[in-house]
Amino acid sequence: MFRSPPPPGAGPSCLLLVLALPSAALADGPKILIFGGGPSPSLHQASIEVQTQRLISALQSRSPLVVFGAPPEAPSPVQVEGEFDADAELLGMLFDRPDALHAAYRSQQIQSARPLTKDALVDAIKLTVGSSSGAAIFGVGHGGRGEEQSGSTLELWGADSLSVQELSTLLDDTRPPGPVAFVLGQCFSGGFTAIAMRKDRLVTPTRCVLAAVPSDREAAGCTSDVSSPDSRAYTHFVARALSAPDGDIDGDGKVSLLEAHSRARILDPTIDVPVSSLEAYVAGAIDRRGKRPPIGRFTIDAILAIARPEEREVLKMLTPSTTKTVGEVVATRDSLNAEADKTDEELTDREDELDVIVRRIRIGFFGRWPELANPFHKRSRQLLAGDAREVLDWVRSTHQADLEALADVTSEVRRLSDRLFAQERILAKLERFVRSAEIVVFEQELRRRGTRAQRSELDALLACERMVP
């Protein structure tokens, strides 16, 4: 069970510059689109802008089309880390509004022609996928989760979102003449790997998705604190790989999307577990045959011998020291997962204790001022005006013992949360190793015993993911 961590004004120059470039400037490779942002200022964190900036910098020689952030009527939409305010912390607890209490807001540093609305993103995708050389589309921000894998969404500015089905339909209607690859850092973004298929057959021209996490997991990387390790997640390391010498895994002098994705799987220190359309394809094809080949019996040396360069690098770099077989890694993962479950149970118990204390304080608080049940009540507005000193002083003097108990339990909750996140970060590395081993074994099985059509589709997906932006 995974708990995710708690969870740069706009002008026309960028888009107009890209659109004014002669087509020959982009003829030697795929067209590039980079989109990023959150649905509101409280979810438009500075780390999203920083990761988007890194992608723009890494791909600047390709003159990327950029769609980013908020409309002009939101002049300071980027959430950054502010100063801690003990009074705000107490009031947030009393009114059950703990989010963004210490945030500050500033203007965007990325200059983009259009904000990240649905219309703007759809138009940008249509412009980008029109080349026979293909398209590489990078996304940073937030995602939503549906009940099914295909229910994943990209959360855009305001109330807008783009679902897996909507993106598939958009591409069907647009009919791109070349392959289209997406690199997505959003929560639940693995759900978009499904756009590669239509009724269990690969769509042509090929579509592929490289994503930060599976369809049932939240992703790291969205925080107002850009100094936090969690601000440097999947897309950060994809951008790094695209502009760093060690991004080239196979030694051909170029960095493909799959190589950047693989380097992120190795270097990302967060809870992200990156996935891809190729991974989903081989797993689905094997599952339809009824039985997965056992991966635990493979020695590390044996699986390295049959792995492609990208998977070989992931396996080499993520193999725990002294480990001889894949089965040992699986056992280590399962054991640590059991430990993390115990930590999660302890954390839930402490959070329940916290809730009891908070409810006790709230009963006294709203008993003293029942009007505060609605902060817009006339009396509430009077009490909460300015620094709300009367309210705060009363709570601190009347509930001193409860507040001391609250501080003690809160400290224990933070300790357990830190332990759980540390366990989950280790688990993520182990899970990445196991998934890489499965890709190698399943792909080998399909190449040996699959149909000619499956081998052809596998090659097409691999070519899409090996696109060089």
Q: CA-to-CA distance for 233 and 260, rounded, in angstroms?
A: 13
Long-range Cβ pairs for the range 287-295 (8 Å, 24+): 288/200, 292/438, 292/442, 293/441, 293/442, 293/445, 295/326, 295/327, 295/330, 295/434, 295/437, 295/438, 295/441
In this structure, is residue 437 part of a structural domain? Answer: no
pLDDT in tens, 347-361: 999 999 999 999 999
In this structure, is residue 102 part of a structural domain? Answer: yes
Q: Are 231 and 225 in contact (CB under 8 A)?
A: yes
Query: What are phi and psi for residue 324, nearest 5 degrees?
Result: -110, -30
> How many CA atoms, within 13 angstroms, populate the side-chain half-sphere of residue 378?
0
Q: Are 170 and 252 in contact (CB under 8 A)?
A: no
pTM of the model: 0.91
In this structure, is residue 381 part of a structural domain? Answer: no
DSSP 402-428: HHHHHHHHHHHHHHHHHHHHHHHHHHH
Name the token pair of 305: 């011998």
pLDDT in tens, 244-256: 989 999 999 999 9
> Between 150 and 50, where is the model more confident?
50
Confidence band of 150 (pLDDT split at 50, 70, 90)? low
In this structure, is residue 4 part of a structural domain? Answer: no
Counting residues of the chain whose pLDDT is more than 90, the rounded percentage is: 87
Q: Rounded mean pLDDT of the chain?
A: 92
CATH code, domain with 261: 3.40.50.1460
Which residues span the domain enclosing 268?
Answer: 13-292+451-465
SS3 180: strand
- Between the alpha carbon of residue 108 and those of residues 64, 78, 223, 447, the distances in Å are 18, 6, 15, 49
In this structure, is residue 373 part of a structural domain? Answer: no
Q: Look at 31-40, 76-85, 147-156 and tell me which has the smallest mean pLDDT.
A: 147-156
In this structure, is residue 32 part of a structural domain? Answer: yes
Q: Is 104 left (phi over 0), alpha (psi -120 to 50) or beta?
A: beta
Give the pLDDT mean for 79-99. 94
- Residue 111: per-residue pLDDT: 82
Chain position carrying tokens 């963004």: 100
Q: Are 103 and 76 in contact (CB under 8 A)?
A: no
Name the token pair of 6: 């708690």
Name the token pair of 260: 């950047």
In this structure, is residue 351 part of a structural domain? Answer: no
In this structure, is residue 146 part of a structural domain? Answer: yes
Per the structure, the count of domains in the chain is: 1
Q: Are 14 and 112 in contact (CB under 8 A)?
A: yes
